[in-house]
């Protein structure tokens, strides 16, 4: 079995693959101070519920945008599983595609993994949209090369800034407004309209501009927890896959293991 770990700014996702099957996934908040021992206590309980012994796991890969977490994850892998982890983007686990931007080394692991998965699973010219702490738009051409993209504040980050910098605005949940009217009749509705439909308008506008600049038929692939919510209220996405980053880790691990 393969244990794939996606280390994001807000959460870590642990995913268990049994061959090609994604058997289980678990989420824990990101904390760079969390030790390998703490990860082990939490993870072994979940593996036990799933009926999986630590000996069943033969390979581990992680991709990280939080450098402080990397050492403790490596301790988890080596101390409790006896496995040297594959680190996405390093050594034999290099990305394996052209990064055609000014500073290729600055491309985040999550963004690179999304490019790998989208090209392998869908192909053609693509824009990959990932809803995370930040919302990222990636342009991948038909050869799988990364051509650049956009980074925008995530919707929760935008809402946090709005509530945190105002004295009287209340905290609201991110959800679709009950009506399609964009003229709110109370403070909460006005905030939700601004955050939700404002975000939809931003996505639709940016993707239209990107497609125009690319100049060829381009598919739009969405991932991240909020992708399903937005997909119900816009027609811009051709494919929605909430597990795209995890699938990228699986594909990269398979490629790296085959080299050995």
Number of neighbours of residue 56 by Cβ within 10 angstroms:
13
Per-residue pLDDT at 131 exceeds 90: yes
Q: For all residues of the chain together, what is the average pLDDT? A: 95
Cβ atoms of 194 and 201 within 8 Å: the answer is: no
Q: Which residue has the tokens 């101070």?
A: 33
Q: What mean pLDDT is predicted for residues 145-153?
A: 97
Tell me if residue 110 is catalytic.
Answer: yes
Q: Which residue has the tokens 């450098």?
A: 67
pLDDT in tens, 101-126: 999 999 999 999 999 999 999 999 99
| Spatial distance between the Cα atoms of 147 and 67, rounded to a whole number of angstroms | 25
Active-site annotation holder among 18, 31, 100, 110: 110
pLDDT in tens, 211-236: 999 999 999 999 998 999 999 999 99
The secondary structure element, H or E, covering residue 21 is strand 21-29
Per-residue pLDDT at 259 exceeds 90: no
pLDDT in tens, 172-206: 999 998 888 999 999 999 999 999 999 999 999 99
């Amino acid at each position: 079995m393969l244990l794939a770990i996606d280390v994001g700014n807000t959460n870590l996702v642990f995913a268990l693959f049994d061959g090609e099957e994604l058997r289980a996934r678990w989420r824990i908040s990101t904390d760079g101070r969390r030790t390998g021992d703490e990860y082990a206590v939490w993870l072994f309980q979940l593996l036990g519920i799933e009926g999986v012994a630590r000996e069943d796991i033969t390979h581990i890969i992680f991709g990280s945008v939080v450098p402080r977490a990397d050492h403790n994850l490596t301790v988890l892998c080596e101390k409790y599983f006896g496995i040297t982890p594959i680190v996405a983007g390093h050594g034999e686990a290099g990305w394996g595609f052209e990064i055609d931007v000014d500073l290729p080394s600055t491309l985040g692991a999550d963004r690179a993994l999304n490019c790998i998965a989208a090209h392998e699973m869908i192909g053609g010219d693509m824009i990959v949209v990932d809803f995370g702490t930040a919302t990222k738009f990636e342009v991948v051409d038909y050869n799988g090369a990364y051509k650049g993209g956009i980074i925008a504040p995530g919707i929760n980050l935008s809402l946090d800034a709005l509530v945190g910098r105002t004295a009287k605005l209340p905290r609201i949940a991110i959800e679709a407004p009950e009506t399609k009217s964009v003229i709110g009749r109370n403070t909460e509705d006005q905030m939700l309209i601004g955050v939700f439909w404002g975000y939809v308008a931003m996505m639709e506008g940016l993707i239209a501009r990107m497609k125009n600049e690319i100049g060829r038929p381009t598919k739009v692939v969405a991932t991240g927890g909020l992708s399903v919510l937005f997909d119900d209220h816009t027609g811009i996405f051709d494919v929605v896959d909430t597990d795209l980053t995890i699938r990228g880790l699986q594909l990269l691990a398979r490629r790296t293991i085959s080299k050995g």
